[in-house]
Amino acid sequence: MFEFEIAARDGGARAGRLITPHGAIETPSFVAVGTQGTVKAVSPEELRAIGVQVIIANTYHLHLQPGEDLIEKLGGLHRFMNWNGPLMTDSGGFQVFSLGAGREHGVGKIAPIFPEEEARLRDRGGHFRAADGGKPLVKVDEDGVEFISHLDGSRHRFTPEKVIQIERKLGADIILVLDECTSPLHDYAYTKEALERTHRWALRALREFERADDGRQALFGIVQGGAYRDLREASARFISSLDFHGFAIGGSLGKSKQEMLQVLEWTVPLLPEGRPRHLLGIGEIADIFAAVQRGIDMFDCVAPTRMARNGALFSREAEAFRLHIRNARYRDDPRPVEAGCGCYTCRNYSRAYLRHLFEAKELLAMRLATIHNLYFLEELMRQVRAAIREGHLAELKREWLP
């Protein structure tokens, strides 16, 4: 029920189509993040109208609340959340990392995504700590990982098998194995140790998956190894050697954009040509171009939706593509967020109205902003796919990033 066809190539970039039991995904594709079984602030119908093709929910969050047994009983996650298109579940590896090393080291999954974050990191000597000193809430051992719920402090254990069992109950089309994310601040020795464990976990996950495989789900392996070349290469080789439907690149992508690109350049060439490649947690416009040019087919990121809820709206006219709608200069601006944009928000509302909604703390503000940001990104992806088919990706990139 899964097929991946590559229709066109432009340099390292590929345009293709991934077929799932709930429909096809045209690639390269942005995957909208719906952590708790809803893409924050928008409805499934709005996502469809925007052109969102696939959503990624989270195993960690849904396990804790409302629980996979409940979702299974109610007919699975597709039905539960009223989304009958392609659906993925992330394994929860990153969430566990956030509670553990991420917390301890005060860093996110990857190199700081935002320039402001980068600056903040630099200001604090390379990292910052959680408010409570960053006490880790996680213990990793060979069997799996024990963690404390961020919701109620209860104790839980994830193993590679358990995560597959949860994801089977959730029933997404594409599911990911449990991995151990390392931090950019972990040293080589620890990163290697964690990587080897992640590889053993990958084997166990695959075995558990195959034990009850009914052909309705595809399992993606995850390449780890931090920003260390030999580890990334070893991981790409090992994970590629296993019978996964596709491959994700996860974990620390180094401390800078430059390092992230290096990780891709070390890793992607070692992945099988004919299978889809997902870059976890990336969504900046420059990063999208860079990743697609290096052969990435899918990626997900909370940034577009989170930014929207904070009033940062994508615009090609604004610095760093971000129009900060709360800025006083938009107070009486009758124009749409982005001239010529075809999204519901831009077709119907002025910047002045959006700013008013944000100032007045109205719920509609977050919805309208999220619709715009997702549409903007989907429109970019439509252009990217068309450019690959026409062999113009480099030109398109120059047009977007002069």
The contact set with its own copies (CB under 8 A) reads 36-38, 40-43, 61, 65-66, 70, 73-75, 80-82, 331-332, 334, 348-350, 352-353, 355-357, 359-360, 362-364, 366-367
Is 90 a catalytic site residue? yes
Four-residue CA torsion sign, 33, 38, 41, 47: positive
**300 given a catalytic annotation:** yes
Contacts of residue 110, Cβ cutoff 8 Å, sequence gap at least 6: 184, 251, 252, 253, 254, 260, 281, 282
Q: Which is nearer to its own copies, 44 or 134 (CB)?
A: 44
- In 3D space, the residue among 264, 270, 265, 308 whose CA is nearest the CA of residue 282 turns out to be 264
Q: Name the region of 56 (left: φ>0; alpha: ψ -120 to 50; beta: rest).
A: beta
Give the residue from 180, 25, 165 showing the smallest Cα distance to 109. 180
Cα–Cα distance, 15 to 292 (Å, whole number): 9
- The one catalytic residue among 10, 179, 297, 300: 300
Closest to its own copies by CB, 67 vs 126, is 67
CA gap 71, 172 in Å, rounded: 11
Q: Which CB sits closer to its own copies, 182 or 370?
A: 370
In the complex, minimum distance from the CB of residue 337 to its own copies, in angstroms, rounded to a whole number: 14
Query: Are the C-beta atoms of 372 and 335 separated by less than 8 Å?
Result: no
Cis peptide before 28 (omega within 30 of 0): yes
Which one of the listed residues 10, 90, 173, 179 is annotated catalytic? 90
Nearer to its own copies, 72 or 193 (CB): 72
Nearer to its own copies, 17 or 309 (CB): 309
Partnered with residue 57 across adjacent β-strands are 89
**Rounded Cα–Cα distance for residues 99 and 83 (Å):** 29
Query: By C-beta, is 127 or 367 nearer to its own copies?
Result: 367
Q: Closest distance between its own copies and the C-beta of residue 283, in Å?
A: 20
Specify whether the CB–CB gap between 34 and 302 falls below 8 A: no
The CB-of-183 to its own copies minimum distance in angstroms stands at 27
DSSP E strand stretches across 21-81: 23-27, 29-33, 55-58
Cα–chain center distance at 281: 4
Residue with Cβ nearer its own copies (219 or 366): 366
Least distance to its own copies, CB of residue 74, Å:
5
**Which residue in the block uniquely carries the two structure tokens 């969430």?**
95
d(CA 127, CA 263): 21
The residue (of 69 and 317) whose beta carbon lies closer to its own copies is 69
Q: Cα(first)–Cα(last) distance of the chain, in Å? A: 41
Compute CA distances 26 → 30, 31, 34, whole Å: 10, 11, 19
Report the length, in residues, of the chain: 402
Q: In Å, how far are 38, 72, 380 from 80, measured between CA atoms?
A: 10, 9, 30
Least distance from its own copies to the Cβ atom of residue 107, Å: 26
DSSP assignment of 172-185: -SEEE-------TT
What's the closest the beta carbon of residue 353 comes to its own copies, in angstroms? 5
User: In whole angstroms, how close is the CB of 80 to its own copies at the nearest point?
Assistant: 5
Catalytic residues: 90, 300
